[in-house]
Amino acid sequence: MLLKLQNVGKTFIDKQKHTSFEVFSDIDLTIAENQFVSILGPSGCGKSTLLSMVAGLENTTEGSITLEKREIKKPGPDRGMVFQQPSLFPWLDVKGNVTFPLKKSMNKQQAELEADYFLKLVQLSKFKHHYIYELSGGMQQRVAIARALAMNPKVLLMDEPFGALDEQTRHILQDKLLEIWQQTKKTILFVTHSIHEAIKLSDRIIVMGTRPGRIISDITIDFPRPRDRENQQVITLEKKIMNLLKTEINKVLKEELADEIQHSS
């Protein structure tokens, strides 16, 4: 077992207002090597928070997260992260961005060889001397993926990486990601709120509910890829997840409506 979350909980405390907010508690999750796992849930259920905790950017308020039996306390190059915004460094060219995390562990030549390899993998070799403002959103996200992969992390964490892209680019990058995953045999933890994206990509889908955030279903997908939209198995699974989430989304809507009525009266 590679990544293990035990009784993980997160509470944000607002020191100025003396309030606290529990995002989720008692999250138990074990992820095996080479698995492509998606976390799916309505917005606000704590997906990003959970991923940030695995990345080490947020601390855990309860429980523990371990990677190969070592407890995660802070960020490290064994976990690569791709955010919804590409978060590239504009003062560096494409190659400079990809070699950024490598400067500490290898010499310049080695780093450049690595960068070349991963830029080829995301098909951006021709753009290695371009600056970020010269690239489209999809290209920027590919650079971000190459940068995360170049560190050779044990786990690749992706937080709605294609969420800000147009439909067409999103499809192309999803296919590309599957290809890369098959080639590199990485373990991927992928956050999304798109049911279809989760089904298309994952070995396993963790469905999260909200208020309080928790895991409501853990679904293993055992039919082969590519998973066409018209495929009967895909349609059945899509319906199943839709029903799971419907209750959750309705819950959010109802609460918000109740709040509204309370505030206006």
Ligand X SMILES: Nc1ncnc2c1ncn2[C@@H]1O[C@H](COP(=O)(O)OP(=O)(O)O)[C@@H](O)[C@H]1O
Q: Is 210 in the site for Mg ion (CB under 5 A)?
A: no
- Cβ at position 45, least distance to ligand X in Å: 5
Rounded Cα distance, 187 and 202, in Å: 11
Query: Which lies closer to ligand X via its Cβ, residue 12 or residue 223?
Result: 12
Distance in Å, CB of 109 to ligand X, minimum: 40
**Identity of the residue, 48 or 187, whose beta carbon is nearer to ligand X in the bound complex:** 48
Residue 21 is a binding residue for ligand X (CB under 6 A): yes
Judged by beta carbon, residue 105 or residue 250, the one nearer another protein is 105
- Cα separation, 157 vs 143, whole angstroms: 15
- Provide the Cα torsion 206, 210, 216, 217; round to 10°: -30
**23 touches which of ligand X, Mg ion, another protein, none (CB within 5 to 8 A by kind)?**
ligand X
d(CA 105, CA 76): 12
**169 token code pair:** 């680019």
Binding residues for another protein (CB under 8 A): 55-57, 74-77, 79-81, 83, 85, 87-91, 100-101, 104, 131-133, 147-148, 151, 157
45 binds, among another protein, ligand X, Mg ion, none (CB under 5 to 8 A by kind): ligand X
Calpha distance 5→12 (Å, rounded): 19
Q: How far is the CB of 50 from another protein (least distance, A)?
A: 15
Which whole-number Å values give the CA distances from 21 to 15, 196, 207, 253, 259, in the listed order? 11, 31, 21, 19, 16
Q: Beginning with the edge strand found earlier in the chain, give each strand of the sheet holding 3-14 in spatial order.
A: 19-31, 3-14, 62-67, 70-71
Asked if 38 touches Mg ion (CB under 5 A), the answer is: no
Q: Is 44 in the site for ligand X (CB under 6 A)?
A: yes
Q: Which 43-82 residues touch Mg ion, going by CB under 5 A?
A: 48
Using the rule CB under 6 A, is 86 a contact of ligand X? no
Nearest partner of 42 among 247, 223, 197, judged by Cα: 247
Alpha helices in the chain (DSSP H): 47-55, 94-99, 108-121, 137-150, 167-184, 195-201, 232-264
Q: Which of 31, 45, 55, 215 binds ligand X (CB under 6 A)?
A: 45
Instruction: Select from 38-46, 96-104, 197-205, 229-237 the region that touches ligand X (CB under 6 A).
Output: 38-46
| Contact residues for ligand X, defined by CB under 6 A | 12, 21, 23, 41, 43-49
